[in-house]
Chain A
Amino acid sequence: MAKGAVEIIIERCKGCGFCVEFCPTKVLALSPAFNAKGYHAPHVVASDKCSGCDLCGMFCPDFAIHGWREKKASA
């Protein structure tokens, strides 16, 4: 069970790759798919590793991604 998760707003992304490079647990990779503006948005490749630290959300210059910690013992 992953400790956290991320949400990506694909249409806001400009494909800078900050989130992919600086994710401490390497959860993300740039997707081969294009968004409407022709950028490669990131996608989650290792969701089980996500710690929900929200570093991707701090780095993202386009406000397109953020992470959160899952609550323990979720109902």
Chain B
Amino acid sequence: MSTELIHPENPVEQFLRSDRIPHIWCPGCGIGTTVNCFTRALIDSKANLDKLAIVSGIGCTGRVAGYLDLDSFHTTHGRAIPFATGLKLANPDLSVVVYSGDGDLFAIGGNHFIHAARRNVDIKVVCVNNLVYAMTGGQTGPTTPGSVVTATNPYGTFEPSFNLPQLAEAAGAVYVARWTTFHVRQLARSMYEMFQKKGFSFIEVLSPCPTLYQRRNKMGDGLDTMKSYKEKSKKRDGAPTSEVPLTRDGEIVVGKFVDRERPDYLTLMKAQFQASLGERYQEPEMHSGCEFEQSEIDGGTICQ
């Protein structure tokens, strides 16, 4: 009889490619925290992991796809959403999650983001926003607030920045929320709600970048940033997204801003085809994954 207590495994462990851990994220970086929340949401929503795909772009957050032991794809820079759109259209049974950073989703991939939101493709987008291009050395990105010192703006940024929830709402997203890495329970809850939602869902997560953002701006380390999130954030569910821009030291409005219903892309496509083709319209045969018998593969049957 063993005297050691049998204790449960860390819930995140079953979703990790443990041979790749420890990860490359800096001490005090919040991306790992968002991964914890994501895995808790997966457990709570009892998602079928065979029907789930994670797509990442390039950047620090883009590494998430490589660390999660799920069907994941690490796409080219900015093209996570187009890849995810293709996945969803080819296999509508899949639940497709795009997990990427602000530089990837809103700079090089900004166009794809607004059009996927406009079309209301049924994908879930998690954007970990650390306010700079972190992996390339801390240059000014589209979300960098004013007066922040970056590698490319040593005297402070002066460009106006994106307000991501407002952009997502204006483009047509059906679910828009913002949290910080301090709000772990709320973020996990929000990700759970995102899994229940049909349509283009968007969650922005503010995360510390102690190496390239906080250090240059003398804001301390990751822990100091987490404390400042605790002090400065204010929960306002349903706040008009025009009132939630981020500033260097100002208040951070968090919460669920938008939760609405709009017909998604595939529904609209089907309705249009039925309206214009009438009885000639046939449901396309969808292959749910590649569940082929070996004999079919040997016999040369290909995916239709």
Contacting residues, chain A, for B16 (C-beta < 8 A): 63
Max chain B Cβ within 10 angstroms of own Cβ: one of A5, A11, A55, A68: A68
Cross-chain contact A57 with B226 (CB below 8 angstroms):
no
The B-contacting residues of A in range 40-63, CB under 8 angstroms, are: 54-55, 57-63
Cross-chain contact A18 with B27 (CB below 8 angstroms):
no
The A-contacting residues of B in range 174-192, CB under 8 angstroms, are: 181-182, 184-185, 188
Closest to A65 in B: B10
Contacting residues, chain A, for B5 (C-beta < 8 A): 5
B302 to chain A, nearest CB (A): 40
Chain A interface residue bracket vs B: 20 to 34
Task: Determine if B8 is an interface residue (Cβ-Cβ < 8 Å).
Answer: yes
Closest to B187 in A: A58
Task: Determine if B157 is an interface residue (Cβ-Cβ < 8 Å).
Answer: no
Contacting residues, chain A, for B32 (C-beta < 8 A): 60-63
| Additional 14 contacts, C-beta under 8 A, given A62-B25, A63-B12 | A5-B5, A7-B7, A16-B27, A18-B28, A22-B226, A39-B27, A54-B11, A57-B10, A58-B37, A58-B184, A59-B33, A59-B184, A61-B28, A63-B32
Residues of A within 8 A of B (CB): 5, 7, 11-12, 14-18, 21-22, 39, 54-55, 57-63, 66, 68
Residues of B within 8 A of A (CB): 5, 7-8, 10-13, 16, 21-23, 25-33, 35-37, 40, 181-182, 184-185, 188, 221-223, 226-227
The 9 closest A-B pairs by CB, nearest first: A61-B32, A14-B27, A66-B10, A58-B184, A16-B28, A17-B223, A68-B8, A61-B33, A16-B27
Residue pairs across A and B with Cβ atoms less than 8 A apart, 21 shown, are: A5-B7, A7-B7, A16-B222, A16-B223, A17-B223, A18-B28, A18-B223, A22-B226, A58-B36, A58-B37, A58-B40, A59-B33, A59-B184, A60-B33, A61-B25, A62-B23, A62-B25, A63-B16, A63-B21, A66-B10, A68-B7
